[in-house]
């Protein structure tokens, strides 16, 4: 499983921490509920961006710029590390089967 890899666990924890921090920020600054704040944080960092929510304050807009610039790289690194761990695990499993 991918979460057995220490690097993957660290990246997942960092990603969830960033999303959680952003959600609390949006809840506080934009006065959104926590569900909307988490939703916006995930939709934004994953670059889906449905457009149904958008920051209205200058502080929220500035934060979102930084959040996207830093969060996007972290999100891609996390997704890549998970995919790599899954592929490596399957490859190792096949190699063990072939050695039998």
Is 51 part of any domain? yes
Is 91 part of any domain? yes
- pLDDT at residue 90, as a whole number: 82
- The pTM of this model reads 0.83
Overall number of domains in the chain? 1
Q: Are 52 and 24 in contact (CB under 8 A)?
A: no
Is 100 part of any domain? no
- pLDDT at residue 76, as a whole number: 94
Is 37 part of any domain? yes
Residues 6+ apart with CB under 8 A from 99: none
For residue 81, the domain's CATH number is 1.10.287.70
Q: What is the pLDDT along the chain (100 residues), one digit of tens a residue?
A: 677 778 889 999 999 999 999 999 999 999 999 999 999 999 999 989 899 999 999 999 999 999 999 999 999 999 999 999 889 888 876 666 666 6
**Number of other residues whose CB lies within 10 A of the CB of residue 18:** 18
Is 19 part of any domain? yes
Domain hosting 65: range is: 2-95
Is 79 part of any domain? yes
CA 57 to mean position of chain CA atoms: 24
Is 42 part of any domain? yes
């Amino acid at each position: 499983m991918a979460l057995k890899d220490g690097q993957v666990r660290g990246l997942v924890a960092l990603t969830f921490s960033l999303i959680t921090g952003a959600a609390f920020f949006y809840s506080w600054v934009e006065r959104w509920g926590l569900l909307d704040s988490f939703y916006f944080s995930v939709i934004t960092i994953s670059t889906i961006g449905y457009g149904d929510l958008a920051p209205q304050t200058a502080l929220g807009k500035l934060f979102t710029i930084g959040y996207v610039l830093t969060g996007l790289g972290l999100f891609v690194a996390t997704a890549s590390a998970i995919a790599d761990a899954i592929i490596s695990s399957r490859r190792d499993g096949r190699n063990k089967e072939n050695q039998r």
